[in-house]
Structure 1
Amino acid sequence: MASVSNFKIGSASALKFNKDFGCFACCTESGVQIFNTDPLQEKRKISELGTCSIVQLMGRSNFIAVVSGGKAPILEDSVVTIWDDAKSKIVSQLKFNEPVLNIKMKPSLIVVVLPTRIHIFQFLPEIQKLASIDTKENLSGICDLCMDSGKDLLVFPAHRVGSVQLLTVSAAALSHVVSTAPVTVAAHKNPVAIVALDSAGSYVATASTKGTLVRVFDTTQRSLVAEFRRGADSATLYSISFSLDSAYLCVSSDKGTVHLFAVKHPLQNRRSNLRHVVPQGSSGGILAPYVTSQWAVASFTTPAECPTTAAFSSHNTIVAICSDGSYFKYIFSVDGSGLIKREMYDNFLQLALSSPENDF
């Protein structure tokens, strides 16, 4: 999803969790801020980079990637800046001819998304370009990269509407990418709006611009694993995130609701009381998609139309962070009862710096 570059006082944009959801970063009118997720603590405030529109953490390492934007940028929006927080300085820059729309980063790779192209670089021990992939127009910078060290899988919208492409982006695999047919999954009828890989790269979750359904596919077999119904009305999805064990998935949207779905134990999800009206094996007519769908096992509300990113800080804990600074922590029951309880509310933008050390 494209980052918002026009800041409001007391607001944040480009909300991003790191690999294990243990910390998160955001862009504000004063620069980049980094927080510990649970317990909530502000760990770093970086003003040397000016205001930014994109920020990406690499685990809990000292490397941070940013793209300038907002009210006081120091560089063009076509430059990716790598900041080493242990040295408090810029250690590398990648310059392009078009605006950068998204970045994904792990120790082995940096992926940079432009409007019609994706560039892939080796990161450590030194930055080297591995490949450039032409894509369909992707103005929202839609993509995700598996963060597991043993699986270099990238997913992004394919040329066919509603489909996604799965690409292995290791150096060895990329040397043959031009001569092999693309691996795609037909996910939706409408254009793809958001994608998310689980931590192992075994599943990919997708949703379209309609925002009513979230589908989960096996990345090896390219088969449909589950279909979840967020709601009946169209919505803009802000985030999709798997739990670290891939057992659950949470979805945030502009409706001001975070929905929780069970991936590995689908009987925990709710079904319509009318589902028995539709005979098994029949088309079921116009009601069938609604009464036979899997609905959220639990949900909670956040400020409506306030960009929100939600993730699992533990197996049964969800944290939602919002552009107005709202921080929600919910505990849910894993027995399928649908019980969910708010454990904490705070405003992360109003926190005083809790630690002066670079230990995020």
Structure 2
Amino acid sequence: MSSLHCAQRGSGVLNVAFNQDNTCVAVADMSGLRVFSLEQHKRAFRLDIGAIGLAQMLFCTSLLAYVGAGEQPTLSPRKLTLYNTHSNAAIQSLSFPSSVLGVHLNRKRLAVVLERRVLLYVLETLELLRTIDTAPNPEGVAALTTCHEPTCQLAVPAGGEPGAVRVYDAASGSGSVLGELRAHRSPLVGGVLAWSDTGSLLASASQKGTVVRVHAPASPDTVHSFRRGSTPARISGLAFAPSPVQPALLCVASDHGTVHLFRITPQLERKSSTAAAAAVISSVLPATIARAVEPTRCLTTIRLPGRPAASVCSLTTVDGGDEGSGPADNDWLTLVVATSSGILYSYKLEGVAEGNVKSFLEGEWFL
């Protein structure tokens, strides 16, 4: 689930978020919120109630969570509302002592992110399971696994060293710490976290935004580093391809108006190739320079039409219809990008398995 918080108020989009299975995108702005179906390419729901700052769906269901932007007394940023889009009625509201900065859902859990804590609820009953104190987190950086079985995990910035991430068990009331990852040297404030659909991989980007890393929390030593570029940028979206796609893929969107696609090479293969490359590099370059060129470059870069804008992205598989082709072979993927300007782009990607990626713009819609 990829979500974008937008800074501008006035007349712009305030929040854009894909649902967990990338079938819909929710858009919040000064007039209310809208849900756009990615399968039918049309608006599926609209609620004109005033300024909404956050909106999140639960998969492709009738459950929607939203938080006001504070422009009206009834739409406080300190109140979360759960809404049924089928009956057009509010189900429940939760109030908090400070502004809600992030909302994350899966079929069992609701995580509400405040600046210094995360509150974890049982989604069905809204029973508070645990309050997790965090380091100052003014932008609400956090990620909850979209799956709830076999593991349900919550990742938040850790205190202490900048760039550290702490992973909690969100399945039980104890909320025990499963591990801590040293993800980046620069702070995660202004960064992004995202889980793969199985919860086995966690992607992270820091404030600097030049390097993206993928971690396997079950094996803390497993780290993949990817070079987005040498110029600092705000990484606004991270998204993995669905787990049937092999090798795994990660798309990275930034406020430079670009989307980068990376292939996550299996660890053993990555170690051997990295070691061989490092041996050659270190024989001719100083160690500090050799380390600087280690992160892997992207498979392809897509530059979005129009003026650069922050965006979020998703990758979905497309059945090609021919035996031996389609999602299992990674030959046909769809990249969907939603921007802070309220525009949705859909790209067809071919040749991913061979590493010779070609992208074709299939459609453009105003959200």
TM-score by length of 2: 0.84
Q: How does 1:1-360 map to 2 (within 5 A)?
A: 3-4=5-6, 6-9=8-11, 11-48=12-49, 50-69=50-69, 71=71, 74-124=74-124, 126-150=125-149, 151-160=151-160, 161-174=162-175, 177=176, 183-192=179-188, 193-245=191-243, 247-264=248-265, 278-279=280-281, 284-302=286-304, 303-314=306-317, 316-332=333-349, 333-349=351-367
Residues 278 and 290 in structure 2, CA contact (< 8 A), matched pair in contact too? no
SS state at 2:290 partner: helix
Most deviating of 57-66 and 337-346: 337-346
Q: Distance in 2 between matches of 1:238 and 1:16?
A: 11
Q: Distance in 2 between matches of 1:312 and 1:219?
A: 22
Q: Distance in 1 between matches of 2:307 and 2:33?
A: 24
Q: Distance in 2 between matches of 1:112 and 1:340?
A: 39
Residues 226 and 296 in structure 2, CA contact (< 8 A), matched pair in contact too? yes
Q: 1:73 to 1:4 in 2, by over 3 A?
A: farther
Report what 2:323 is aligned to.
none
Q: Distance in 1 between matches of 2:70 and 2:228?
A: 32
- Aligned residues between the structures: 337
Q: Distance in 1 between matches of 2:346 and 2:148?
A: 29
Residues 53 and 66 in structure 2, CA contact (< 8 A), matched pair in contact too? yes
Q: CA deviation at 1:225?
A: 3.2
The one-letter amino acid paired with 2:313 is: A
Report what 2:322 is aligned to.
none
Report what 1:356 is aligned to.
none
Q: Distance in 2 between matches of 1:331 and 1:24?
A: 18
Q: Distance in 2 between matches of 1:254 and 1:289?
A: 27
Q: 1:44 to 1:309 in 2, by over 3 A?
A: same
Residues 130 and 173 in structure 2, CA contact (< 8 A), matched pair in contact too? no
Q: CA deviation at 1:4?
A: 3.0
Q: Distance in 1 between matches of 2:20 and 2:187?
A: 27
Residues 53 and 68 in structure 1, CA contact (< 8 A), matched pair in contact too? yes
Q: CA deviation at 1:282?
A: 8.0
Q: Distance in 1 between matches of 2:70 and 2:283?
A: 54
Q: Distance in 2 between matches of 1:340 and 1:38?
A: 22
SS state at 1:223 partner: coil
Provide Cα deviations, 1:275-318, integer angstroms capped at 9, x if missing partner. Answer: 78953578744432454331110110124541211111325211
SS state at 2:199 partner: coil
SS state at 1:185 partner: strand
SS state at 2:203 partner: strand
Residues 209 and 233 in structure 2, CA contact (< 8 A), matched pair in contact too? yes
Q: Distance in 2 between matches of 1:336 and 1:296?
A: 14
Most deviating of 156-165 and 323-332: 323-332
Q: Which runs of 5+ in 2 are unaligned?
A: 318-326, 328-332
Bigger RCO (CA 8 Å, 6+ sep): 1
The one-letter amino acid paired with 2:127 is: Q
Q: Distance in 1 between matches of 2:120 and 2:285?
A: 44
The one-letter amino acid paired with 2:359 is: K
Residues 166 and 182 in structure 1, CA contact (< 8 A), matched pair in contact too? yes
SS state at 1:295 partner: coil
Residues 78 and 98 in structure 1, CA contact (< 8 A), matched pair in contact too? yes
Q: 1:281 to 1:215 in 2, by over 3 A?
A: farther
